[in-house]
């Protein structure tokens, strides 16, 4: 069996692409990789990509010069987690306070990790997670 190495991309579906682009670029300071009328892509730690698609804007197959991307979409509050170091957790909590982003919940895990949960402008549940959350992290 060939090996899967990591999750490369995570997609969230948003109602207002400009508003969400600003949140991820300004509030979370993710570098923008690509933007067009239906989506934008952000670098996450030089290891993965966060894709934001305009809700309903990618339901149809999309032909490209290199092949066709199958249609996809998502509804409701989705979830994703960003990996952070334990040392950076207080700075992240301060950053959220400074940007007036309410912390929805804080969880201390049995393995020693801590998760802080908050919402993006579309109600997606975002998590900042320190090592000790999973056996693999």
Domain range for residue 119? 77-137
The verdict on 84 and 136 lying in the same domain is yes
In a domain, residue 134? The reply is yes
In a domain, residue 70? The reply is no
How many domains is the chain built from?
2
Assign residue 87 the CATH number of its domain. Answer: 3.10.180.10
Q: What is the mean pLDDT of the chain?
A: 95
As a whole-number percent, the residues of the chain with pLDDT over 70 amount to 100
Q: What global pTM score does this model have?
A: 0.92
In a domain, residue 65? The reply is no
pLDDT score for 130 = 96
Taken in order 89, 94, 99, 103, the sign of the CA dihedral is positive
Contact 120, 80 (CB under 8 A): no
């Amino acid at each position: 069996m060939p090996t899967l190495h990591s999750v490369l991309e995570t997609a969230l579906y948003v109602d207002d692409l400009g508003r969400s682009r600003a949140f991820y670029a300004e509030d979370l300071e993710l570098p923008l990789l690509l933007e067009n009328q239906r989506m934008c892509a952000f670098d996450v730690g030089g290891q993965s990509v966060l894709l934001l698609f305009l809700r309903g804007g990618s339901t149809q197959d999309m032909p490209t010069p290199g092949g066709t991307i199958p249609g996809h979409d998502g509804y409701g509050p989705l979830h994703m987690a960003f990996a952070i170091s334990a040392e950076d957790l207080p700075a992240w909590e301060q950053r959220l306070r400074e940007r007036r982003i309410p912390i929805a919940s804080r969880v201390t895990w049995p393995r020693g990790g801590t998760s802080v949960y908050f919402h993006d402008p579309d109600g997606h549940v975002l998590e900042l997670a320190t090592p000790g959350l999973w056996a693999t992290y």
